[in-house]
Amino acid sequence: MFSLFMCVLSYHMARVLILIMDGAGIGEMPDAGEYGDEGSNTLKNLANAVGGLSLPCLESLGLGNLGDFKGIGKTRNPLSSFGVMSELSKGKDSVTGHWEMMGIVNEHPFPTYPNGFPPEIIREFEARTGRKTLGNKAASGTKIIEELGDEHVKTGSPIVYTSADSVFQIACHEDVIGVEALYEMCLKAREMLVPPHDVCRVIARPFTGPPYRRTANRRDFSLPPPEETVLDRISEKGIKVVAVGKVIDLFSGKGFSNSMKVKSNADAMDKITVLLPSFEAGIIFSTFTDFDTLYGHRNNPEGFASALREFDKWLSALIPELKEDDYLFITADHGNDPTTPSTDHSREYVPVLFYNRAVTPKDLGMREGFCDLAATVAEIFGIGFKRGKSFLGS
């Protein structure tokens, strides 16, 4: 009885780090054709495009055992357990991927608008904001501000656009429509986007210039999760759950104790490094968005590879600082292959690396759903959860 009590106590005192490499998929899923993503393999294709990746820390954890990635070797004795996760949910967006990792399977994809939003949506948005709009089409975020930035500055009309994802994006120059006013517009859009137009995310896209450049003041206004996540269960027990970066927006704030805003991958790394020594127990959850937003969406394999090298270098310093009761998860939420003609997310399998000094590394195989991560986190903290199969019992 004493040893069992000590085991449960140590779980409750654990520190869990969940690090998401946004967009770092490792190969098309069987239904990729339904999404127009045949041939996508983010890590393999970008490794080939740059002549090979050198990621010694991720290699030592077992990343190379999950596929044929030029420059990343296979490891006979990896430091972490390693596996591949398949997505049960319908979709290939960040919200869907993150929700499933925390235990929600989305059986119906969020609506998308490849031809722009219907007139009734735009009319209502214009009525609520008192401003005419520009754009209303699917477009690259960087290209549309180049195309319509001058007209926006002249007229004060917000630029509305979408992508292959379920997003209602609003771009405004920070000197024409202030950031807070842009956020207010987004809140009005969020209130009106209800079924059947329950768009997954409204995204504020402030920019400056000319030359027009998006700023770090982006903010996402997501639908709230439709049901309880493992984060909710853990927070209800009084265990800290800290978001570092935009991940809190993807859950509409639910399940988190507090959050830290970041401007970049490097900023997220710095904040986690500073936070960790004084963080006694709980979850630190961070999504490293530069891979996706700066490089995947802009078809820039060189930039993607450079960001991966920076992340790998930071990991090599982080891991020696982890204690026996620390658990590290490294995974991704979808693909975003920078070598394909598309600039959108891709429907891909994702890697998962699971590190703990006391857990013997093993091949986790092909996981049926991202929600296996939720089940593992629940077991670490001694909390029952309804969905997924824990890595600890694999």
CATH of the domain at 70: 3.40.720.10
Residue 164 lies in a domain: yes
Cα–Cα distance measured from residue 318 to residue 77, given in angstroms and rounded to the nearest whole number: 20
Residue 123 lies in a domain: yes
Which stretch of DSSP H or E encloses residue 208? Answer: strand 201-208
Cα–Cα distance measured from residue 249 to residue 22, given in angstroms and rounded to the nearest whole number: 14
**pTM, 2 dp:** 0.90
DSSP three-state, residue 207: strand
Residue 6 lies in a domain: no
CA-wise closest residue to 8 among 367, 265, 382: 382
The domain boundary, picked from 222, 252, 286, lies at 222
Whether residue 2 has pLDDT greater than 90: no
For CA atoms 120, 121, 123, 127, the dihedral sign is positive
Our count of domains for the chain comes to: 2
pLDDT per residue as tens digits for the range 39-81 = 999 999 999 999 999 999 999 999 999 999 999 999 999 999 9
Whether residue 34 has pLDDT greater than 90: yes
- Which amino acid is residue 67, in one-letter code? G
- Which amino acid is residue 219, in one-letter code? R
Considering the chain, what percentage of its residues have pLDDT values greater than 90? 92
> Is residue 389 a contact partner of residue 364, using CB atoms and an 8 Å limit?
no
Q: Are residues 39 and 133 in the same domain?
A: no
Peptide bond into 196 cis (omega under 30): yes
Q: Are residues 214 and 231 in the same domain?
A: no
In terms of Cβ atoms closer than 10 Å to its own Cβ (0-12, 13-18, 19+), residue 51 is exposed
Q: Are residues 143 and 89 in the same domain?
A: no
Q: Are residues 87 and 136 in the same domain?
A: no
The domain boundary, picked from 222, 237, 253, lies at 222
121-160 burial by CB neighbour count: b if 16+ within 10 A, else e?
bbebbeeebebebbbbebbbbbebbbbbbeebbeeebbbb
**Res 3: pLDDT:** 34
Q: Are residues 271 and 286 in the same domain?
A: yes
Residue 4 lies in a domain: no
Kindly report the CATH number assigned to the domain that includes residue 163: 3.30.70.1250
Residue 345 lies in a domain: yes
CA-wise closest residue to 380 among 366, 359, 363, 364: 359
Average pLDDT, the chain: 94
Q: Are residues 335 and 355 in the same domain?
A: yes
pLDDT per residue as tens digits for the range 228-249 = 999 999 999 999 999 999 999 9
Across 277-296, average pLDDT: 96
| Helical axes 301-318 vs 42-49, angle rounded to 10° | 110
Question: Nearest 5 degrees, angle CA 287-CA 288-CA 294?
Answer: 130
Kindly state the tokens that stand for 325: 């009761």
Q: Are residues 348 and 229 in the same domain?
A: yes
Peptide bond into 224 cis (omega under 30): no
Q: Are residues 273 and 369 in the same domain?
A: yes
Q: Are residues 62 and 146 in the same domain?
A: no
Residue 2 lies in a domain: no
DSSP-assigned letter for residue 351: E
The domain boundary, picked from 182, 198, 222, lies at 222
Cα–Cα distance measured from residue 10 to residue 16, given in angstroms and rounded to the nearest whole number: 12
Residue 5 lies in a domain: no
Across 349-378, average pLDDT: 97
Pairing of strands 213-214, 219-222: unpaired
Residue 114 lies in a domain: no
Q: Are residues 329 and 191 in the same domain?
A: no
Q: Are residues 64 and 136 in the same domain?
A: no
Cα–Cα distance measured from residue 360 to residue 107, given in angstroms and rounded to the nearest whole number: 34
Helices then strands, counting H and E runs in the chain, come out as 13, 14
Whether residue 1 has pLDDT greater than 50: no
Across 275-284, average pLDDT: 96
CA neighbours closer than 13 Å in the CB half-sphere of residue 15: 20
Range of the domain at 164: 119-222
Q: Are residues 178 and 124 in the same domain?
A: yes
**Res 165: pLDDT:** 87
198-209 burial by CB neighbour count: b if 16+ within 10 A, else e?
ebbbbbbbbbbb
